[in-house]
Structure 1
């Protein structure tokens, strides 16, 4: 198992290196010259060629691209992501301030998703031809079909403006968390319910489940003790991928609810043409996603005996 974990860590190193290359290239090869973008952010639209040339020299844009990348990577390895071109704040410090809000929203959404999806998926697998099974399957189909931005606006209209029960935006107590977490959690739950159903149906047809039934074990024991553990493997994989996406910043939902996380910071920085902040946010999102997938791979080693034996 140690060999398996070491191999995954080794591979993640190259994934993160690839993230740095993609992040750097995306910003530097985007339409428009980076020195002009930075000059506009600093001096406004009324630019002189001397100001653009000054930015080009001071920021090192006159050097070959690979030299620029090596210099930027050197700063990244020293945890220096530069300063905001708009506010002059330290990029890493600003992201660190925003990250707890994104983490709170991500884990709350994941808990809501799994709390709904796992019981619903089990019920649908066991009672696939019953009315309750059809009800949950229809609900999951509707959930998959509804876009996050539309569901978020619908919840704001219903619970904030019509019923006046919950705030429509901002970051504060648990009341501010409910609407964005439910928006993300229910859409994830719809997909996870269908995945849980498929995984449970596959496991329930295995020979060891038939043997357990032949031994006279009750259905509750068979499902919860024998079937669910093996059915959880693909669910954990999907949940890990979703958590990586959420921790990286759910851009649309954070923007709709003015939730001060990384996703909202990224959108605001794009509108402000804050070159350094956008680059830092994209890098942190990519690294977070890679590390979350690494954690899922390690969890697999503990949950799946086949990996341990190999």
Structure 2
């Protein structure tokens, strides 16, 4: 497995290079001039040009890209054009809030999705099955920002149980995590049900029942374990989505995470911060996919890595 791990890490190098090219070109294609934004509305053209030289924006794109790659390799992400603060320090300060929000969202959504999917698969075409799938479709269909505003109105404004913004206490995780994890829970429930239905039809499941094993043992030890591979794959992808896709939710709840920082950077045309965050989100997806692949061998010992 170690050799497989090393090969996969080396295979990430060209992928990261391609991503860096797209991120660099995408950020520089965004409308707006950072130099003019930072110089101010009343700045003259000479002031704007001086600001552009100070930010090294007067260099050609290839030169700027080489500098961008060099900074990535040395983990020197540069300084924010707006605040002058090192981007690495800004990201490390905002990352814990986004990380814990994503972990809390994934934790409850996976538990709910597994339970709902198992119940639906065991009781196909029953009231419980239809009810769980209706909830799943609703979780996918409801816009997250609308769900967040609804939860705040009910549980914060009317009942006063939770705060409306910020991350001052662990209880502040409840409403944002429910909002962010609703769609993930729905996807996990549907995937678990589909995988369980396919596995339940296998011969070894019928053999386990014929041996007289209790239904709980058949479901949780034989059926669910073999149905977990596609579920784990989806859970890993969803975790990457949660880490990088919580921008709207962080904005709704004024969450001090990477999403809020990215929105501010885009508003101020702080392309140094935008580039760094986009690369971080991309690297998260790649590493999570690698971790999911390695988990296959733990879930199913029959899988061998070469």
Q: Shorter-chain-normalised TM-score: which range? A: over 0.9
**Aligned match of 1:78:** 74
String of CA shifts for 1:203-226, please: whole Å, max 9, x gaps: 111111111122221211111111
String of CA shifts for 1:63-88, please: whole Å, max 9, x gaps: 44222211111112111111112211
Q: Out of 188-197 and 1-10, give the one that drifted further.
A: 1-10
String of CA shifts for 1:272-307, please: whole Å, max 9, x gaps: 222222222212111122211121122123323443
**Aligned match of 1:89:** 85
Q: Out of 271-280 and 216-225, give the one that drifted further.
A: 271-280
Q: How many residues align?
A: 306
Unaligned 5+ runs, structure 1: none
**Aligned match of 2:114:** 118
**Aligned match of 1:69:** 65
**Aligned match of 1:24:** 24
TM norm structure 2: 0.94
Structure 1 residue 309 displacement after superposition = 6.2
CA contact (8 A) 2:4 2:305 kept: no
| 1:290 counterpart = 2:286 | yes
Q: Report the Cα distance in structure 1 between the residues aligned to 2:130 and 2:203, rounded to whole angstroms.
A: 27
Q: Report the Cα distance in structure 2 between the residues aligned to 1:235 and 1:184, rounded to whole angstroms.
A: 19
| 1:178 counterpart = 2:174 | yes
String of CA shifts for 1:175-233, please: whole Å, max 9, x gaps: 21110011112221111101100000011111111111222212111111111111111
CA contact (8 A) 1:152 1:179 kept: yes
Q: Report the Cα distance in structure 1 between the residues aligned to 2:192 and 2:263, rounded to whole angstroms.
A: 34
Unaligned 5+ runs, structure 2: none
CA contact (8 A) 1:249 1:261 kept: no
Q: Report the Cα distance in structure 2 between the residues aligned to 1:200 and 1:28, rounded to whole angstroms.
A: 46
Q: Out of 168-177 and 44-53, give the one that drifted further.
A: 44-53
Q: Which runs of 4+ in 1 moved over 4 A?
A: none
Q: Report the Cα distance in structure 2 between the residues aligned to 1:63 and 1:156, rounded to whole angstroms.
A: 47
| 1:150 counterpart = 2:146 | yes
TM norm structure 1: 0.93
Structure 1 residue 127 displacement after superposition = 0.6
Partner secondary structure for residue 303 of structure 2: helix
**Aligned match of 1:109:** 105
Q: Report the Cα distance in structure 2 between the residues aligned to 1:243 and 1:5, rounded to whole angstroms.
A: 20
